[in-house]
Amino acid sequence: MIFEKRLLTRDRGLGLLSKFWQVPWIFVVLVSMIAAVGYVALYSAGGGSAEPYAAKHAIRFGFGLVMMISIAMIDIKLIAKLSWLGYLGGLALLVLVLLHGNVGKGAQRWIDIGPLQLQPSELMKIMLVLALAAWFHRASWERVGNPLFLIPAGIMILVPVGLILKQPNLGTALITGVVGTAVLWAAGVRWWKFAALGAAIAVAAPIAFEHLHDYQRARITTFLDPESDPLGAGYNIIQSKIALGSGGLWGKGFLQGTQGHLNFLPEKQTDFIFTMLAEEFGLVGALTVLGLLLLVVAFCFMVAFRSRHQFGRLLAVGLGTNFFLYVFVNVAMVTGSIPVGGVPLPLISHGGSAMLTTMLGFGLLLSAHIHRDAELGVTQD
């Protein structure tokens, strides 16, 4: 009996060791390189000092790295079973932030959990992907085509989107809705349903515009004509474009960016961190950073293609879409291609919630990769 217990313990240890060596360490290095870029950018944003941004960034990433590897070791079957609990927990946090959240810059988006100030809307996107993947992972093609089967999935998306809009946080609400829609598309929902949804949104858009907050309408009108209010609503994007253009091909050099260091560039440590990088390292540096970020997106979809179970495929598609949207929206925002929406650049911008949820998502992604051949159940008709 003692021998059997020792053998079982040894087998479990070997199983854990085997998982550890299956971790794609090239991806870990890639993520670490991007976080290192963030440290350099935040060091510059701090005026050539690790305080107050870069040091916290390094600590958060170190904690997130340990969390990512730990989550990667968890069996994907257990993650699938806990998906619904995570989704309900995310909804509870969204309700809690509306009732007792901290108010900042006119929005109620954060709650204090011990020393951590958490933004539940960031976490909710990950929980939504998990829940949708669990809902669809054993559904047959015929069942996915049944509109009645899609109603619960639609409700699962609309409820958190509505709660996030109440904060208000239009940018994150839109990203949450698009991420949920991407999972539906990957699950096999017919294209005509998306066409009908797009038509409904187009009809409702003018009505929705009238119900936006004043600052949200100002962002849209400023996007269309930023020079109409150069010292007010249009100031941020005008200064961002000046900084981007002044960087040229090779940039002004590390710690030499005038727009950032003379405080013309707003929110240089968060929303406009990419602009600061482009000013100091030029177009070449900006494209290099974008290349690293897009490699992460490519890895996400590679995991989706290699997964032999639907849960892993949908999880990887949802997480990859979420990461891509953050990169796309942030870069498009600071270049004036879309209205300013307060979306950080993942792994680079200053912020604890964004770092925590990004590394949590990567941990789930690595678990899907390591357990890509797992048996998660039979398809249901």
Strands across the sheet containing 116-118: 102-104, 107-113, 116-118
Residue numbers of the chain with a pLDDT score lower than 70: 1-14, 104-108, 114-115, 201-202, 204-234, 377-381
Examine residue 9 and state whether it is found in any structural domain, yes or no.
no
Examine residue 23 and state whether it is found in any structural domain, yes or no.
no
pLDDT score of 277: 93
Examine residue 116 and state whether it is found in any structural domain, yes or no.
yes
pLDDT score of 193: 74
The number of residues making up the chain comes to 381
Examine residue 378 and state whether it is found in any structural domain, yes or no.
no
pLDDT score of 11: 37
Q: What sign has the CA pseudo-torsion 171, 172, 173, 175?
A: positive
pLDDT score of 117: 77
pLDDT score of 5: 41
Examine residue 15 and state whether it is found in any structural domain, yes or no.
no
* Two structure tokens written together for 211: 């119900």
Split into its structural domains, the chain has a count of 1
Examine residue 7 and state whether it is found in any structural domain, yes or no.
no
pLDDT score of 145: 83
pLDDT score of 205: 64
pLDDT score of 199: 76
pLDDT score of 204: 66
Examine residue 227 and state whether it is found in any structural domain, yes or no.
yes
| DSSP states along 46-80 | TTSSSTTTHHHHHHHHHHHHHHHHHHHTS-HHHHH
Examine residue 176 and state whether it is found in any structural domain, yes or no.
yes
Domain that holds residue 138: 28-370
Residue type, 371: H
Rounded alpha-carbon distances, angstroms, from residue 257 to 246, 248, 254, 264, 335: 9, 11, 7, 10, 17
